Structure 1
Amino acid sequence: MNVWIAVAVTALGCYAVKLAGLLVPPGVLERPLVRRLAALLPVALLAALTAQQTFGDGQELVLDARVAGVGAAAVALVLRAPFLVVVAVAVGVTAGVRALAG
């Protein structure tokens, strides 16, 4: 039963956050600082999720094949490769390092 309580509380929390966003006055949303933060927030969240998934494993810092894949993707981005090429390079390097290591 605890799982359903957690699901219900999470659903209510999501609804409350959505409702709070709808209740913000339009004048607040037009401020330059708010617009700039709204534009940068998804990038920051995606970077944090990528870092956590790449370098974290529970409570430990891990340096494995994922780090090589992200590094290769970063190099491909610097070289202005198309997105699908960046993903393919990351996958290929990660798979290659895992194959060589194990």
Structure 2
Amino acid sequence: MIIPKSYVEIADLLEREDRLVLFFAADWCPDCHFIYPVMPEIEAENPDCTFIRIDRDEFMAMAEQLNIFGIPSFVVVENGKEIGRLVNRLRKTKEEVNSFLAGL
């Protein structure tokens, strides 16, 4: 999982042509801590995706621009275009995330 440190790094990543999964989270979030342990499995089961963990609080302007108010949330971008989102305030399971990604 890529963890960017700046908006410039995120902008560079978004220019890539591969399928990017923007995983918005925050370390204080209990629902994020629920999904953290299975994220390596989700990544392994979706090898066609590049996962990018974005700290929602550190990159609040980006989160607001993308209407990310509940975390954890997932936005999938391919060739610079959003192709799907799993964005809400609910806890997500491994099965739910994998099902979402498989449906894209």
* The two structures share one fold, judged by TM-score above 0.5: no
Higher helix share: 1
Higher strand share: 2
Indicate the structure (1 or 2) with the bigger Cα radius of gyration.
1
Relative to the length of structure 2, the TM-score reads: 0.23
The higher-RCO structure (CA 8 Å, 6+ apart) is: 2
